[in-house]
C-alpha cells in the first residue's frame, strides 16, 4: 500500500515492513498529477526490478518533481530529487 500524505510526505506498507518519508525541499507549483507520478515512479522501479524501498524512493521523487514543475516532471528533475529523499523504516 502506497499512501500519499501530500505536503506531509507518504507511507509505504509491504507485507513485512512499513516505511515513511517526508518530501524533498522545493516550491510547490501544482499538485495536479503528483499522485499519478508517484505511482508511475514506483512502477518504473518495479519494472527495473529494484528493491521495494528503492521503488518507493523513485515514487517520492517522481511525485515531488511533478509538484515542483509546470505540467509533468522530467526524468532529470526526478533524478535530481533522489539524493534528497530520506525514508525511515518503522
Q: Tell me which of 17, 36, 75, 83 is the catalytic residue.
A: 36
What residues does each domain of the chain span? 24-85
Q: Where are the beta strands (DSSP E) in 28-77?
A: none
Active site (annotated) includes residue 36: yes
Residue 18's beta-bridge partner residues? 13
Rounded Cα–Cα distance for residues 71 and 27 (Å):
14
Question: In this predicted structure, what is the pLDDT of residue 6?
Answer: 83
Rounded Cα–Cα distance for residues 69 and 64 (Å):
9
Question: In this predicted structure, what is the pLDDT of residue 72?
Answer: 80
pLDDT along the chain (90 residues), means of 10: 90 95 89 89 96 95 92 86 92
Amino acid at each position: 500500500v502506497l499512501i500519499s500524505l501530500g505536503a506531509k510526505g507518504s507511507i509505504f506498507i509491504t507485507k513485512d515492513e512499513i516505511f515513511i518519508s517526508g518530501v524533498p525541499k522545493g516550491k510547490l507549483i501544482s499538485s495536479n498529477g503528483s499522485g499519478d507520478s508517484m505511482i508511475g515512479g514506483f512502477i518504473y522501479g518495479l519494472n527495473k526490478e529494484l528493491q521495494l524501498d528503492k521503488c518507493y524512493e523513485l515514487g517520492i521523487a517522481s511525485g515531488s518533481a511533478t509538484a515542483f514543475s509546470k505540467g509533468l516532471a522530467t526524468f532529470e528533475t526526478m533524478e535530481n530529487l533522489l539524493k534528497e529523499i530520506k525514508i525511515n523504516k518503522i
